[in-house]
Amino acid sequence: MKISTRAGRIEPFYVMEVAKAASQLAREVAHSSRPMIFLNIGEPDFTAPEAVQEAAHKAIRDGATQYTQATGLEPLRERISQWYADRFGAQVPARRIVITAGASAALQLACLALIDAGDEVLMPDPSYPCNRHFVSAAEGQAVLLPTTAKDRFQLSAEQVQAAWNPRTRGVLLASPSNPTGTSIHPDELRRIHQVVQSNGGVTLVDEIYLGLSYDDTFGHTGLAIDDQVISINSFSKYFNMTGWRLGWLVVPDALVPVVERLAQNLFICASTVAQHAALACFEPESLALYEQRRAEFKARRDYFSPALEQLGLSVPVQADGAFYAWADCREWCARLGVKDSWDLAFTLMKESHLAVTPGRDFGTAQTADFLRFSTASSMAHLQEAVARLKALAG
């Protein structure tokens, strides 16, 4: 069977090999004194609040399950608009918000609406692999620019300007970022956007972890800078609705009918039940619970990153959001006699029953020297993971 060249351009998701091996071993050690601890999954251990679950049940009981408009339920778009105003002081009209089948659909719609074959999109290295694959699926080319701890593993305006060429269409950034948990300083994002605008390009910002920001310096939406900034967001992370597959896209007014037309043809609409459930995310009791959970994620970060440092797994930049620790593992590779983070991940899995994510998927800029630990697991699991790492270190 002939496979499309488009499909061929999508690189394997190597971390799935680690996940499969971890799942197999987990079954074998499930009833042992050391069951597998999964610190490789970027998924909150919390589930949707009771009010959200009940709203889903009510929608089903009431028969509110037919298609919605391709742009989503109007009340949900309005509540998201109000959330931006209340939480970030940003004025984001509901008419510019498109409800999507997860952030993945939002990214696909944005890329299909804006990228032509051969267009280049600048991205930081390291960055989440699926983001560059969305660019490839739209027949564009992701151009990864190496970043360092000095720049918080984020791009600078100078880098963007230096890399810009006639084929460049724009930038795709993430703030906070996966795998580093670091954000772009609002002033730097403003400068990047100015460079992009001056070159006639587009600024796309993946903000799916924005609700999980812990530092007032960085916890700002790029939408506050200019209504030409395009933002991708999700109910998965802050709102704890990963499997519900619901997200949203904020675009300039001129792009709304374009995205709507694409959404009508590609998706019809996001899950109607999930949309009705998400309305309850913005009830006062739900928002209060989300803030309690955000504080818990921060407490986990504050415990785990210093613990890694003490063990010789250096975290060069403290995450200001999300739930990750991007740790330099060169010292451990040398200590255990393994080549890089890929081999170290399998060593930790087999010797300590810890599943972690090697840096291979996230780019090529020294990513072989880094492991990504997810702190989305419970504090008890994090403490046990540290104890096992100490034991392995001797």
Q: Are residues 78 and 227 in the same domain?
A: yes
Give the residue carrying structure tokens 């593993």.
153
Q: Are residues 141 and 18 in the same domain?
A: no
Q: Are residues 242 and 332 in the same domain?
A: no
Q: Are residues 238 and 360 in the same domain?
A: no
Encode pLDDT of 286-301 as tens digits. 999 999 999 999 999 9
Q: Are residues 99 and 128 in the same domain?
A: yes
Q: Are residues 105 and 149 in the same domain?
A: yes
User: Between 50-61 and 284-310, two packed helices, what is the crossing angle to 10 degrees?
Assistant: 130
Q: Are residues 253 and 272 in the same domain?
A: yes
Q: Are residues 83 and 182 in the same domain?
A: yes
CA distance 130 to 147: 18
Least confidently predicted of 11-25, 87-101, 207-221: 11-25
Q: Are residues 119 and 165 in the same domain?
A: yes
Encode pLDDT of 22-50 as tens digits. 999 999 999 999 999 999 989 999 999 99
Encode pLDDT of 337-352 as tens digits. 999 999 999 999 999 9
**Number of domains the chain is built from:** 2
- The model carries a pTM of 0.95
For residue 87, the enclosing domain spans 50-282
306: domain CATH number is 3.90.1150.10
Q: Are residues 38 and 56 in the same domain?
A: no
Q: Are residues 190 and 295 in the same domain?
A: no
Q: Are residues 121 and 197 in the same domain?
A: yes
Mean pLDDT of the chain: 97
223: domain CATH number is 3.40.640.10
Q: Give pLDDT, residue 16.
A: 82
Residues whose CB is less than 8 angstroms from the CB of residue 377 and which lie 6 or more positions away in sequence, other chains included: 37, 38, 39, 41, 45, 300, 385
